């Protein structure tokens, strides 16, 4: 899963740690990706349909066997196909882990709200309703995003105006806390 924490995102350098190391290999894998898109979707913009070929491990091994029998004329293409299959296998694993993690943490309770936000909502008398409205939703990164998420739901029982007002009071609360700290 791609990180959302700014420090974690800045610590990992995808260009420096991947693209800069393998520009030629990435180009060859991109060519394989293009070939596959043209093969499976000749009249559509380039895209990958994971359902068309979901068997990465066996396809990877087939490309390895093809390489063993190749006279060297297709070696680069076969290596690029192997890399593409290995990347897709890893991508599926990452997505499965992210989905599993999201479903495990998608139940909102007072205990997994930011402490300052839970205290504020309790003081506003709307903590329980907030928890109900966030049920099953993706967890935002910070308090402002939590409330903004709640008040933008069109089907929210309390309605947009209610959560908009709570959001305004939350921002006032944060500004007051910042002034106290200064």
Per-residue confidence (pLDDT) for residue 166, from 0 to 100: 73
Look at 135 and 56; give whichever has higher pLDDT. Answer: 56
Token representation of residue 40: 């499976």
Nearest to residue 46, comparing CAs of 54, 55, 34?
34
The token pair at 49 is 């349909």
| 39 half-sphere exposure, CB direction, 13 A CA radius | 10
Do residue 46 and residue 91 come from a single domain? yes
Same-domain status, 119 and 75: no
> Is residue 19 located within the same domain as residue 84?
yes
The verdict on 135 and 80 lying in the same domain is no
- Asked if residue 1 belongs to a domain, the reply is no
Query: Which domain-ending residue is among 79, 105, 131?
Result: 105
In this structure, the answer to whether residues 54 and 117 fall within a common structural domain is no
**What's the gap between Cα 163 and its chain centre?**
26
Q: Which of 40-49, 79-88, 112-121, 143-152 has the highest mean pLDDT?
A: 79-88
Q: How far apart are CA 136 and CA 111, in angstroms?
A: 15
Map residue 46 onto helix, strand or coil: coil
The reply to whether 71 falls in a domain is: yes
Confidence of residue 154 (pLDDT cuts 50, 70, 90): very low
Residues 19 and 91 in one domain: yes
Q: Yes or no: say if 123 and 132 are a contact pair by the CB < 8 Å rule.
A: no
Q: 60 vs 70, 86, 92, 120, 160, CA distance in Å?
A: 15, 7, 14, 53, 51
Per-residue confidence (pLDDT) for residue 47, from 0 to 100: 84
Q: Are residues 89 and 123 in the same domain?
A: no
Q: Which of 105, 130, 150 is a domain's end point? A: 105
Instruction: Report the run of H or E that residue 87 belongs to, with start and end.
Output: helix 75-105
- Cα–Cα distance for residue pair 48/41, rounded to 1 Å: 9
pLDDT in tens, 50-59: 777 788 999 9
Do 78 and 99 have their domain in common?
Answer: yes
The secondary structure of residue 107, as a DSSP letter, is: S
Q: Number of structural domains, the chain? A: 2
- Which of the listed residues 105, 138, 153 is the one where a domain comes to its end? 105
Tokens describing residue 126? 């709307």
Range of the domain at 46: 6-105
Same-domain pairing of 62 and 91 = yes
- Is the dihedral angle over the CA atoms 45, 49, 53, 56 positive or is it negative? positive
């Amino acid at each position: 899963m791609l990180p959302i924490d700014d420090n974690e995102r800045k610590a990992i350098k995808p260009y420096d740690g991947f693209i800069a190391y393998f520009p030629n290999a990435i180009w060859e894998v991109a060519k394989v990706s293009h070939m596959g898109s043209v093969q499976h979707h000749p009249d559509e913009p380039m895209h990958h349909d994971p359902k068309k070929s979901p068997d990465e491990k066996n396809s990877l091994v087939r490309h390895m066997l093809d390489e063993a029998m190749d006279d060297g004329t297709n070696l680069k293409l076969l290596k690029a196909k192997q890399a593409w299959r290995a990347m897709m296998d890893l991508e599926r694993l990452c997505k499965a882990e992210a989905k599993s993690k999201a479903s495990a943490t998608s139940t909102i309770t007072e205990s997994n709200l930011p402490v300052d936000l839970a205290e504020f909502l309790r003081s506003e008398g709307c903590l329980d309703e907030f928890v109900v409205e966030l049920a099953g939703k993706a967890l935002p990164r910070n308090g402002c995003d939590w409330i903004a998420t709640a008040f933008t739901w069109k089907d929210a029982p309390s309605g947009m105006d209610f959560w908009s007002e709570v959001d305004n009071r939350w921002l006032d609360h944060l500004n007051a806390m910042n002034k106290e700290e200064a």
